[in-house]
Amino acid sequence: MLSINNCEDEMKYKIYKIKEIFGPTLQGEGYLVGTPCVFLRFADCNLSCEFCDTDFDGGEYMSATAILTALDKYKGNVKWLVITGGEPLMQLDSLLINALRSNGWLINLETNGMYRLPQPVDHISFSPKVQRHSIILEYCDSLKILWPDTLNLLKDFMDYPATHKFIQPIDRGLGFDKNVIDVVYTMRGDWRLSPQLHKLIGVK
């Protein structure tokens, strides 16, 4: 077991590539939609999706200690921390998860499911971008399938172990595609529509 001093040293010297930290804002997607939160966005991703609307290039190298310090100003106002990317599980580890939870944060992790989760978090939001045989993540709290579903992921993940299941229309700058509503009507099970609230109300 690491001593307190060794743990503090590791916190100072373990480095992560962070794109941005911002808030307070609202979670705009999935089960926690409308919940006040802060975003910790990791840089870089293992996929290059033509429909991706997130800038995760570049970024700043920060220690675990520096990340906690940057988050301190939000404490007391919000309790949920959304860890996203890019793909956060390319970097996120038990050291940082434990440090964040010890500092009182509830963690909502957003992932594409292609990397192993180092340890449990409070809420896993899983949005697959590839077929199921390439997925390592074994379960999630919220499963989010993007629409249009060009890879037929709805069928592939129909029986995936998820507490909540959502269909989320992609923002192509053309406004909300109402055709997706008919898709939700015809789905078996407890699938729900998840429009991107933050874009509809104009918050980051």
**Known catalytic residue at 150:** no
Catalytic hit among 8, 9, 53, 57: 53
Catalytic hit among 29, 37, 39, 123: 39
**Known catalytic residue at 164:** no
**Known catalytic residue at 140:** no
**Known catalytic residue at 37:** no
Contact 162, 111 (CB under 8 A): no
Catalytic hit among 110, 111, 123, 166: 110
Classify residue 100 as exposed, middle or buried by CB count within 10 Å of its CB (0-12, 13-18, 19+).
Answer: buried
Catalytic hit among 54, 69, 150, 163: 54
Strand order across the 15-26 sheet:
60-63, 15-26, 36-42, 80-84, 106-111, 123-126, 140-147, 162-169, 191-193
DSSP annotation of 99 reads: H
**Known catalytic residue at 7:** no
Three-state secondary-structure class, residue 69? helix
Task: Report the distance separating Cα 13 and Cα 66, nearest Å.
Answer: 10
Catalytic hit among 22, 49, 57, 163: 49
Catalytic hit among 45, 141, 164, 166: 45
Catalytic hit among 52, 93, 163, 176: 52
**Known catalytic residue at 9:** no
Contact 176, 201 (CB under 8 A): no
Give the residue numbers marked as catalytic.
39, 45, 49, 52-54, 110, 198
